[in-house]
Structure 1
Amino acid sequence: MSKVASQHFGEIELNHGRDHNFAAKHELAGQPLELDLSVNAHDHFDEAAMHKVDYRLRFLPELVDQVREMIAEELEQEGTSPQEYLRFHCNAIKPEHLKQVFGVTDKAQLTNQVFLKALKLGHVGIFPGQPERYFVLDFTLGSHFTDEILVASADEDGVVDDEILWES
């Protein structure tokens, strides 16, 4: 069994032939973030693949900015997941959640910009064996408020998929 050091996940044992899930805590723009690395038994995961994960994570801030821009654009379009997510979570919001989640006291102040500021990246799944869904990014308004998330994915080159999904 060989081991490789990861900047984000510590020392990883490269034990081929079994499923592996590695979790790490990370901080991005002052916010806590969970990272999960999922390697399937049939994936070719070696030292080079681990280094690629660490390398790609260096560009996570840019990836998050791209997704936020996409969400902002989709908030302006009818029937998109981000717009429906916003409507659902803001339709019958209680006053205490309005202040706690969005930082405003009046529902009229709940603009797309306020929503975007409240939407946080809480989790990143990394799937090195799935080049088209290498990164899966979960955005939330906070687990204390909802278990619903907006999900975006990017390929192994950091190209964001053009579809943002609403999942629970």
Structure 2
Amino acid sequence: MALSGIVGMSQTMQDFVQLVRTFSRDYPELNRIVSGEESSDRQIAWAVFDAVSDFNGTPPFTNLFLDDLLQRHQHHLLLRMTIESLIESVGQLQTRNHINYSNGGINVGVNDKTPLLMNWLQYFKAITEQKKMRVKVALNIESILGPSNVGVHSELWAVNATYAAY
């Protein structure tokens, strides 16, 4: 695997990169137009880092790593955020390499997948932004409750707590 030589590349990251590749079905035998894989393992790893950075940089700010998000069962969100980053990257490449050619009344657009990519990007952004906000709210509530999930007692607890024992 191309990621094995990168310092600090965890097995979790390598496994997640393969999960992203499987979800996007980016395999040479399935790519009819693109020769080989459209996104390398390094590009997918970059998109994972970008997705985690986006998650952490969205208020309320967090400092979670890939392992933290996966332990909190956020595979679905992180996978789609990673795909979103890949689509943005591929879309920029497609736009940069787009040319129109006209000869003898025949017009041809080469590599004009940008509108299709934009549709997918809008779809993934809508899903991920909603999910990200729900997770952020849940994390914010969890931070208020504390590690034991007891929360902060109101003044009524101080007045009425002694009656609970009788």
Q: Does 1 or 2 have the higher relative contact order (CA < 8 Å, sep 6+)?
A: 1
TM-score (norm 2): 0.27
Instruction: Say which structure is richer in strand.
Output: 1
Which of structures 1 and 2 has the bigger CA Rg?
A: 2
